[in-house]
């Protein structure tokens, strides 16, 4: 069965330091993977997506994620955190297996806190 685990419910970093938000997944076949961001009192916005092309995916606002099949991971990173990055981030997996309907499985979310 598909699942997605965001390993940290909260991550706190200082402004200007690197960001790492961890995501592990399980999937029967080759998955598509997404990161969404939700700023306080806002809707969800697509940050980036992996759909079996390049394993290193670049997204908006300087974020990127690397698909590692051997580790079943899709961690989100950014070299230097900015105050405006404070938000909740969701890792999402989609399974395209033949014998199951397409569906999106949402992680529980990671709240990113940026310290001045």
Partner 1 sequence: DAGVIQSPRHEVTEMGQEVTLRCKPISGHDYLFWYRQTMMRGLELLIYFNNNVPIDDSGMPEDRFSAKMPNASFSTLKIQPSEPRDSAVYFCASSLRGVGYEQYFGPGTRLTVT
What residues line the site for partner 1 (CB under 8 A)? Answer: 32, 34, 36, 41-46, 49, 90, 94-96, 101-104, 106, 108-109
Nearer to partner 1, 36 or 63 (CB): 36
Q: How far is the CB of 29 from partner 1 (least distance, A)?
A: 11
- Given the complex with partner 1, which of 5 and 15 has the nearer CB atom? 5
CA distance 56 to 5: 20
What is d(CA 82, CA 105) in angstroms, rounded to the nearest whole number? Answer: 28
User: Least distance (Å) from partner 1 to the CB of residue 31?
Assistant: 9
Rounded to 5 degrees, φ, ψ at 106 are: -95, 135
Pick the closer one to partner 1 by CB: 13 or 74. Answer: 74
* Nearer of residues 32 and 72 to partner 1, judged by Cβ: 32
CB 10 within 8 A of CB 110: yes
Least spacing, CB of residue 74 vs partner 1, in Å: 15
Distance (Å, rounded) from C-alpha 6 to C-alpha 75?
9
Sign of torsion over alpha carbons 96, 7, 46, 67: negative
């Amino acid at each position: 069965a598909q699942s997605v685990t965001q390993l940290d419910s909260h991550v706190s970093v200082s402004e200007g330091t690197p960001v790492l938000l961890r995501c592990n997944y399980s999937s029967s076949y080759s998955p598509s993977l997404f990161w969404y961001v939700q700023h306080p009192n806002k809707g969800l916005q697509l940050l980036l997506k992996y759909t079996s092309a390049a394993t290193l995916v670049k997204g908006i606002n300087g974020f990127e994620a690397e698909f590692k099949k051997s580790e079943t991971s899709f961690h989100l990173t950014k070299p230097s955190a900015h105050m405006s990055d404070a938000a909740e981030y969701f890792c999402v997996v989609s399974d395209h297996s033949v014998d199951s309907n397409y569906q999106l499985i949402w992680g529980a979310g990671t709240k990113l806190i940026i310290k001045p």
